[in-house]
Structure 1
Amino acid sequence: MNGSPPATDLTTVLDGDHRELDRLCTELELGQGSPENRKDLADHLIAELVRHAVAEEPYLDGDGDLAEADRLMRQLEGTGPQETRFERLLGGLIRAIRRHVREEGPAAVRTVRRSCSEQRRAELGKEVLELRDAAATVPHPDLADRVPQARQLWPGPGFVDRARAALRPPSSG
């Protein structure tokens, strides 16, 4: 195949995620906007990172920058933008994401290229994109009967777990 892989190739999807995460980090590093706007942008960054992590984690060792980012996301999700620790946690999250985008992420993309055929990468990328498209409409099983569907993926306590659950393929059990 000549040129770059198709848009549905998993390596293309992951590379695009890295670019978007980097862009969001830069926007947050500029430090502009009200605390509430920064919190909204941080929540958007967390949502994008969770979407990315679900697709990429099978190709990582589990103890790297994404694991550190996950720990920080969980602390940040319950932190208000006016709290003094908000910016400290956000800075740590941005540093972990930057390390991932620079080192760990490209290594995962290389692993995908080495371990999967072109056809399999296209299938996996399509699966990831379909799960992402469906995630906004999939209710979290623990919340389905208690929380209106439109609020289930809204930021706040439990957001990381709700987003992960919505992005995982249904178990075939």
Structure 2
Amino acid sequence: MNGSQPATDLTTVLAGDHRELDRLCTELELGQGSPENRRDLADHLIAVLVRHAVAEERFLDGDGDLAEAEDLMRRLEGTGPQEPRFERVLGGLIRAVRRHVRDEGARAVREVRASCPPERRAELGREVLEVRHSAATLPHPDLADRMPQADQLWPGPGFVDRARAALRRAAGSPG
């Protein structure tokens, strides 16, 4: 990177998402906390991943490497934290997220940097941040003390689809 990029540069936004996704995966891999707390953290990982995927799909070509993660997110939302398969599905999601961050994430950032002038990257980054800010979210009561309200989404059945639809509506795209 030549010099520092503004906080609104799309490459900075996407790279920040990758760092946050990596941090959440690490926290989940530590395996600490009650099943309910792990569920809350998994839901937060899903919310961050969905908003990141919506940003990437809107501004980058292809989203194939997130297709597996999408399937695992949907399977996880129908699984209780006490169920034996919860940790297995969560482990698969963590592996898919790590592959995205490692393989696709850096490539996406390089592609945007190479194909898009700095002014356009700043404009696109501002758009992504505005969409995230304006997307309707419902706070999860157990997360209020752990993350900003703007990052909270109400989990449960349909969580992935509702989050994606809210972000697309805020972006003015068909849901």
TM over 0.5: yes
CA 1:96 to 1:60, structure 2 compared with 1: closer, same or farther past 3 Å? Answer: farther
Structure 1, 93-102 or 49-58: larger mean CA deviation: 49-58
| 2:64 aligned counterpart, secondary structure | coil
SS at 1:5's partner residue?
coil
Q: What does residue 104 of structure 1 align with?
A: 104
C-alpha distance in structure 2 between counterparts of 1:33 and 1:69, whole Å: 23
**Match of 1:50?**
50
* Moved beyond 3 Å, runs of 4+: none
**Residue 76 (structure 1) shift:** 0.4
Aligned partners of 1:47, 1:111: CA distance in 2, in Å? 25
Check the 8 A contact 2:56/2:63 in 1, yes or no: no
Aligned length: 158
* CA-CA distance at 1:137 after TM superposition: 5.3
Output the aligned Cα RMSD.
1.9
Percent pairwise identity: 79
Q: Deviations over 1:92-130 (max 9, x none)?
A: 000001111111011111111122111110011000001
Instruction: Specify the alignment match of 1:37 in structure 2.
Output: 37
Q: How is 1:99-138 mapped onto 2 (pairs within 5 angstroms)?
A: 99-136=99-136
Q: TM-score when scaled to structure 1?
A: 0.86
Structure 2: distance between partners of 1:171 and 1:74: 22
* Equivalent residue, structure 2, for 1:59: 60
SS of equivalent residue, structure 1 residue 107:
helix
Q: How many Å apart are 1:21 and its aligned residue?
A: 0.4
CA shift at 1:2, angstroms? 5.8
C-alpha distance in 2 between matches for 1:131 and 1:24: 22
Query: Residue 86 of structure 1: SS of its match in structure 2?
Result: helix
Structure 2 partner of 1:4: 4
Q: Distance in 2 between matches of 1:166 and 1:160?
A: 10
Q: Distance in 2 between matches of 1:171 and 1:53?
A: 14
Counterpart CA distance in 1 for 2:64 and 2:8 is 28
State the Cα distance separating 1:62 from its structure 2 match. Answer: 2.7
Does the aligned pair in 2 maintain the 1:6–1:12 contact within 8 Å?
Answer: yes
Given that 1:9 and 1:121 are in contact with CA atoms closer than 8 Å, whether structure 2 keeps it comes out as yes
Measure, in 2, the Cα distance between the counterparts of 1:23 and 1:81: 20
